[in-house]
């Protein structure tokens, strides 16, 4: 920090310190002001103006009191004039001091985190600042301090602040002027309609301002579009996957007129190409593994034979059995108008469905996501499999290459290896599941390798060649080595991209994130206030239960947002990877805690010590819990082990309802069950936090009782 900056900081600190030490608040009293105002009105107006500027520029307490007193002394219009300019000048001075002293250091220190913030301020800084000034959600001095660090011009800051604060200034000064007009401060004088109305306006102003600002933002977003006089539906939902079905169900439950549009199959990816078929396949593969392990229990059943066509036939049967839960017939009975067709949004209230136009007050986009096919030379010639067309296979590939070491890649690698294929799993990252802790991933990796899966990490596939049934993939390692892998079929599982094209979003100017998902706020509204989004198309999760969770918020906010809005809550979103043993987690992991600079304590319990796991022959895995340093408050939990997806629910519940490890330890868990692992990890935490000094004296007490 330069000498000038240091001197300025010291000077400001001395002035603020002197204000508190010398009880500067006494000079802001009404009697003090009125005494001088009566002697020299014009001179005092100037003194009041300077005092107000100094108080606000130095962030001294009492600005609200000064504002009300300005109304009491000068009256409404003169008070508004003085306070408006004095508060804006003071705010701008504080803004400039923050910028001069802190901005360069803050921007340099936190440049990685502030890139997106700076871009947002440069784009919408005027609206942000106006919103903060109009609705007093944050203290006056915090706005000055923070905005001084942002890339906003001084003159812009000045005029937006003055304009934004004008309404609030009027309300506060008016309250003071109403009090000043009272001849005698008595109950009878205060309880007059004028005074009561002034203070009522003071109380409800934040709500009026918020309503006004919301209306202004909506008017701006909908400018250029004509709102229909009548509507065909209260809510129109595009996409009948998990998010769309839940949204439609909620609307029908509250007796709203809801229309659900789907161009393909009801149930979306989860039912038809995702959760349901994959778990049916995984269960078949597990039965093979169970037979192979039967000898460990003294049961000889020979070598299992896999009829892959029959396995895939059962997968289709499972889909058919669950299908009625998501069918047109069921949702029609619930009161949903189910429409088959391709939907395209043509205005904030209108949708074109195969050439027919319908209108709705609100629209929810729930169009899901699709597998990404990377542009690798020769890949298209191999007839690649994805999570969508995989279920059409009738012949088990002899050698299956899987691209991508995420959840889908790991699940399918184990399943196909168990069913009899030789699986080669390739990922460009240093480890599988790159966003998970290394110790947990090591367990997953060891399981896959022990079962015969060939794993190649740090490997980028650069090209493919397709020659008859045998294909080749050329892999470049991080060390520069080249590797060639032969295979029969390739499964591409490198991620999924939100389905946004073809729905009219670009034409409407609906904002998107860098990863292609639709940008939504905390209430799941898009940049067009009549259009909401939920599920994979909105992110940040691509999980069925996350889509259903979002759908509740999107549906309720779309239907009742004019009365009350609810912010979506992602704090306790569980995630499960259905390998065997399963991997589940909720909340923070150690990697994320480190990235965010959060100090945590890690407690681990190994399942090799759990009675039920030993009896079942599944004593492999671990429970890992992160707690806030020095407390039992759970910040995250991860489990590798049998039924981890079921066991994680106890931590989801605990975190949702702020229950710590002490509460889990005090909860009775049936014996022998896998859930005891949660109790034992809580016990491990407790053992590390026993009061050693107290126990030392307790031990002395018991020895004394023995007469020793």
Q: Per-residue pLDDT tens for 71-97?
A: 777 778 888 888 889 888 888 888 887
- Residues 215 and 221: their CA atoms lie apart, in Å, by 10
Within this chain, do residues 507 and 593 fall inside the same structural domain, yes or no? no
Handedness of CA 372, 374, 375, 381 (dihedral sign): negative
Task: Tell me the pLDDT band of 708, cut-offs 50, 70 and 90.
Answer: low
Within this chain, do residues 242 and 154 fall inside the same structural domain, yes or no? no
- Which tokens in the block code for residue 107? 């921007």
3-class state of residue 592 by DSSP: helix
Q: Are strands 350-353 and 422-426 parallel, antiparallel or unpaired?
A: unpaired
* pLDDT at residue 192 tops 70: no
Query: Once rounded to an integer, what is the mean pLDDT over residues 217-245?
Result: 89
Measured between its terminal Cα atoms, the distance across the chain in Å is 66
**Per residue in 2-11, pLDDT tens?**
665 555 555 5
Give the lowest-confidence range in 21-35, 205-219, 323-337.
21-35
Q: Are strands 622-628 and 634-641 parallel, antiparallel or unpaired?
A: antiparallel
Q: Note whether residue 311 is domain-resident.
A: no
Task: Tell me the pLDDT band of 142, cut-offs 50, 70 and 90.
Answer: confident
Task: Tell me the pLDDT band of 209, cut-offs 50, 70 and 90.
Answer: low
Check residue 174 and give its pLDDT: 79
Check residue 256 and give its pLDDT: 96
Q: Note whether residue 225 is domain-resident.
A: no
Q: Are strands 482-487 and 356-365 parallel, antiparallel or unpaired?
A: unpaired
Check residue 128 and give its pLDDT: 65
Contact 538, 523 (CB under 8 A): no
Long-range contact set of residues 140-145: C-beta below 8 Å, sequence gap at least 24: 140/56, 140/59, 140/63, 140/91, 141/56, 141/59, 141/94, 143/91, 144/59, 144/91, 144/94, 144/95, 144/98, 145/59, 145/94, 145/98, 145/102
Check residue 701 and give its pLDDT: 87
- Which tokens in the block code for residue 245? 């079905």
Check residue 206 and give its pLDDT: 61
Check residue 222 and give its pLDDT: 78
- Residues 552 and 170: their CA atoms lie apart, in Å, by 40
Query: Once rounded to an integer, what is the mean pLDDT over residues 151-179?
Result: 78
Task: Tell me the pLDDT band of 353, cut-offs 50, 70 and 90.
Answer: very high
pTM (2 d.p.): 0.78
Q: Are strands 459-467 and 470-477 parallel, antiparallel or unpaired?
A: antiparallel
- Residues 588 and 591: their CA atoms lie apart, in Å, by 8
Q: Note whether residue 397 is domain-resident.
A: yes
Task: Tell me the pLDDT band of 191, cut-offs 50, 70 and 90.
Answer: very low
Check residue 37 and give its pLDDT: 58
DSSP 8-state assignment for residue 450: H
User: Total structural domains in the chain?
Assistant: 4
Check residue 181 and give its pLDDT: 64
Within this chain, do residues 181 and 41 fall inside the same structural domain, yes or no? yes
Q: Note whether residue 288 is domain-resident.
A: no
**Per residue in 488-517, pLDDT tens?**
999 999 999 999 999 999 999 999 999 999
- Residues 379 and 224: their CA atoms lie apart, in Å, by 45
**Per residue in 426-474, pLDDT tens?**
999 999 999 999 999 999 999 999 999 999 999 999 999 987 778 999 9
- Residues 550 and 526: their CA atoms lie apart, in Å, by 13
Q: Are strands 422-426 and 454-456 parallel, antiparallel or unpaired?
A: parallel
Give the lowest-confidence range in 79-88, 201-210, 658-667.
201-210
**In 467-543, alpha helices (H):** 505-508
Helix axis angle, 242-253 to 544-560, nearest 10°:
40
Within this chain, do residues 86 and 208 fall inside the same structural domain, yes or no? yes
**Per residue in 354-393, pLDDT tens?**
999 999 999 999 999 999 999 999 999 999 999 999 999 9
Handedness of CA 59, 61, 64, 68 (dihedral sign): negative
Task: Indicate the residue among 220, 251, 281 that finishes a domain.
Answer: 220
**Per residue in 339-349, pLDDT tens?**
999 999 999 99
More reliable by pLDDT, 670 or 104 = 670
* pLDDT at residue 652 tops 80: yes
* pLDDT at residue 201 tops 60: no
Give the lowest-confidence range in 22-36, 326-340, 354-368, 597-611.
22-36
Q: How far is CA 277 from the centre of its chain?
A: 28
Within this chain, do residues 179 and 52 fall inside the same structural domain, yes or no? yes
Check residue 88 and give its pLDDT: 87
Rounded (10°) CA dihedral 592, 598, 600, 606? 0
**Which CATH number fits the domain that encloses residue 604?**
3.30.390.30
Check residue 110 and give its pLDDT: 47
Within this chain, do residues 129 and 201 fall inside the same structural domain, yes or no? yes
Check residue 420 and give its pLDDT: 96
Q: Note whether residue 272 is domain-resident.
A: no
How far, in Å, are 64, 74, 125, 173 from residue 71 at the CA level?
A: 11, 5, 31, 4
Question: Domain span at residue 514?
Answer: 233-266+327-371+498-560
Task: Indicate the residue among 186, 220, 254 that finishes a domain.
Answer: 220
Check residue 188 and give its pLDDT: 46
* pLDDT at residue 28 tops 70: no
Task: Tell me the pLDDT band of 666, cut-offs 50, 70 and 90.
Answer: very high
Angle at 31 between CA 25 and CA 36, to 5 degrees: 100
Q: Are strands 634-641 and 489-492 parallel, antiparallel or unpaired?
A: unpaired
Within this chain, do residues 207 and 244 fall inside the same structural domain, yes or no? no
Task: Tell me the pLDDT band of 20, cut-offs 50, 70 and 90.
Answer: low
Contact 308, 288 (CB under 8 A): no
Check residue 232 and give its pLDDT: 96
Burial class of residue 24 in the structure, from the number of CB atoms within 10 Å of its CB (0-12 exposed, 13-18 middle, 19+ buried) = middle
**Per residue in 87-134, pLDDT tens?**
888 888 888 877 777 665 555 554 544 454 455 556 566 666 777 776
Which residues make beta-bridge pairs with 29?
A: none
Q: Note whether residue 525 is domain-resident.
A: yes
- Residues 385 and 468: their CA atoms lie apart, in Å, by 17
- Residues 494 and 376: their CA atoms lie apart, in Å, by 12
Side by side, which strands form the sheet with 399-403? 454-456, 422-426, 399-403, 489-492
**Per residue in 513-552, pLDDT tens?**
999 999 999 999 999 999 999 999 999 999 999 999 999 9
Give which of 124, 100, 139 is closest to 9, Cα–Cα.
Answer: 100
Check residue 407 and give its pLDDT: 96
- Which tokens in the block code for residue 554? 């999107």
Within this chain, do residues 238 and 363 fall inside the same structural domain, yes or no? yes
More reliable by pLDDT, 695 or 17 = 695
* pLDDT at residue 24 tops 70: no
Check residue 187 and give its pLDDT: 43
Residues near 524 by Cβ (< 8 Å), separated by ≥ 6? 532, 533, 534, 538, 550, 553, 554, 557, 568
Q: Note whether residue 276 is domain-resident.
A: no
More reliable by pLDDT, 68 or 247 = 247
Give which of 269, 237, 256 is closest to 554, Cα–Cα.
Answer: 237
Side by side, which strands form the sheet with 470-477? 459-467, 470-477, 482-487
Task: Tell me the pLDDT band of 31, cut-offs 50, 70 and 90.
Answer: low
Task: Tell me the pLDDT band of 190, cut-offs 50, 70 and 90.
Answer: very low
**Per residue in 594-603, pLDDT tens?**
999 999 999 9
How far, in Å, are 2, 126, 475, 649 from residue 163 at the CA level?
A: 35, 11, 61, 51
Query: Once rounded to an integer, what is the mean pLDDT over residues 238-257?
Result: 96
Within this chain, do residues 366 and 401 fall inside the same structural domain, yes or no? no
- Residues 245 and 260: their CA atoms lie apart, in Å, by 8
- Which tokens in the block code for residue 519? 């940008």
Q: Note whether residue 291 is domain-resident.
A: no
Check residue 263 and give its pLDDT: 94
**Mean pLDDT, the chain, as a whole number?**
86
Within this chain, do residues 504 and 478 fall inside the same structural domain, yes or no? no
Contact 234, 559 (CB under 8 A): yes
Within this chain, do residues 122 and 211 fall inside the same structural domain, yes or no? yes
Within this chain, do residues 65 and 111 fall inside the same structural domain, yes or no? yes
- Residues 335 and 338: their CA atoms lie apart, in Å, by 9
**Per residue in 38-65, pLDDT tens?**
666 677 778 778 888 888 877 766 677 7
């Amino acid at each position: 920090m330069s000498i000038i900056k240091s001197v300025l900081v010291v000077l400001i600190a001395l002035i603020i310190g002197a204000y508190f030490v010398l009880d500067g608040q006494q000079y802001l009293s009404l009697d003090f002001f009125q005494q001088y105002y009566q002697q020299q009105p014009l001179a005092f107006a100037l003194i009041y103006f300077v005092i107000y500027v100094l108080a606000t520029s130095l962030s001294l307490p009492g600005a609200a009191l000064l504002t009300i007193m300005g109304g009491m002394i000068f009256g409404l219009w003169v008070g508004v004039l003085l306070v408006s300019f004095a508060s804006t000048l003071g705010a701008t001075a504080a803004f400039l001091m923050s910028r001069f002293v802190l901005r360069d250091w803050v921007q340099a220190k936190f440049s990685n985190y502030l890139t997106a913030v700076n871009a947002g301020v440069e784009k919408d800084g005027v609206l942000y600042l106006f919103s903060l000034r109009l609705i007093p959600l944050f203290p006056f001095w915090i706005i000055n301090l923070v905005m001084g660090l942002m890339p906003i011009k001084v003159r812009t800051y000045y005029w937006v602040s003055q304009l934004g604060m004008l309404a609030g200034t009027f309300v506060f000064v008016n309250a003071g002027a109403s009090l000043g007009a009272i001849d005698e401060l008595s109950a009878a004088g205060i309880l007059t309609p004028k005074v009561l109305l002034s203070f009522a306006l003071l109380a409800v102003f934040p709500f009026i301002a918020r309503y006004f600002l919301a209306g202004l933002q909506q008017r701006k977003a909908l400018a250029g579009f004509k709102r229909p006089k009548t509507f065909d539906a209260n809510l129109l939902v595009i996409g009948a996957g998990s998010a769309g079905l839940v949204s439609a169900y909620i609307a029908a439950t509250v007796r709203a007129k809801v229309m659900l549009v789907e161009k393909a199959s009801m149930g979306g990816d989860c039912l038809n190409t995702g959760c349901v078929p994959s778990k049916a396949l995984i269960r078949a593969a597990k039965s093979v593994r169970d037979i192979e392990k039967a000898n460990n229990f003294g049961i000889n059943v020979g070598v299992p034979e896999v009829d892959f066509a029959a396995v895939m036939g059962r997968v289709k049967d499972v889909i058919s059995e669950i299908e009625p839960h998501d069918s047109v017939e069921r949702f029609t009975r619930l009161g949903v108008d189910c429409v088959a067709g391709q939907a395209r949004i043509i205005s904030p209230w209108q949708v074109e469905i195969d050439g027919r136009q319908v209108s709705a007050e609100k629209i929810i986009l729930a169009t899901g996501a699709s597998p990404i096919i990377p542009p690798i030379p020769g890949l298209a010639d191999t007839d690649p499999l994805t999570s969508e067309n995989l279920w059409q296979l009738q012949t088990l590939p002899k050698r299956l290459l899987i691209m991508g070491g995420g959840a889908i890649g790991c699940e399918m690698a184990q399943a196909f290896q168990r069913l009899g294929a030789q699986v080669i799993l390739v990922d460009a990252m240093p480890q599988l599941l790159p966003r998970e802790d290394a110790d947990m991933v090591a367990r997953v990796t060891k399981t896959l390798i022990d079962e015969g899966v060939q794993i190649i990490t740090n490997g980028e596939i650069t090209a493919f060649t397709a020659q008859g049934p045998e294909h080749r993939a050329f892999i470049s390692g991080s060390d520069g080595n080249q590797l060639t892998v032969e295979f029969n079929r390739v499964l591409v599982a490198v991620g999924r991209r939100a389905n946004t094209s073809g729905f009219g979003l670009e034409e409407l100017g609906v904002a998107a994130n860098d990863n292609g998902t639709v940008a939504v706020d905390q209430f799941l509204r898009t940049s067009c206030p009549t259009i909401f989004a939920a599920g994979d198309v909105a992110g940040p999760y691509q999980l069925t239960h996350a889509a259903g969770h979002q759908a509740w918020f999107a549906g309720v906010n779309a239907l009742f947002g004019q009365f009350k809005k609810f912010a979506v809550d992602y704090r306790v979103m569980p995630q499960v990877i259905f390998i065997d043993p399963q991997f589940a987690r909720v909340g923070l992991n150690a990697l994320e805690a480190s990235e965010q600079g959060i100090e945590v304590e890690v407690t681990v319990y190994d399942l090799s010590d759990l009675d039920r796991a030993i009896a079942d022959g599944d004593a492999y895995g671990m429970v890992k819990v992160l707690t806030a340093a020095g407390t039992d408050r759970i910040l995250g939990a991860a489990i590798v082990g049998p039924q981890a997806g079921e066991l994680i629910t106890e931590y989801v519940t605990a975190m949702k309802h702020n229950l710590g490890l002490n509460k889990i330890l005090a909860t009775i868990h049936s014996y022998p069950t896998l859930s005891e692992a949660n109790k034992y990890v809580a016990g491990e935490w407790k053992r590390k936090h026993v009061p050693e000094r107290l126990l030392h004296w307790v031990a002395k007490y018991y020895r004394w009782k023995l007469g020793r």
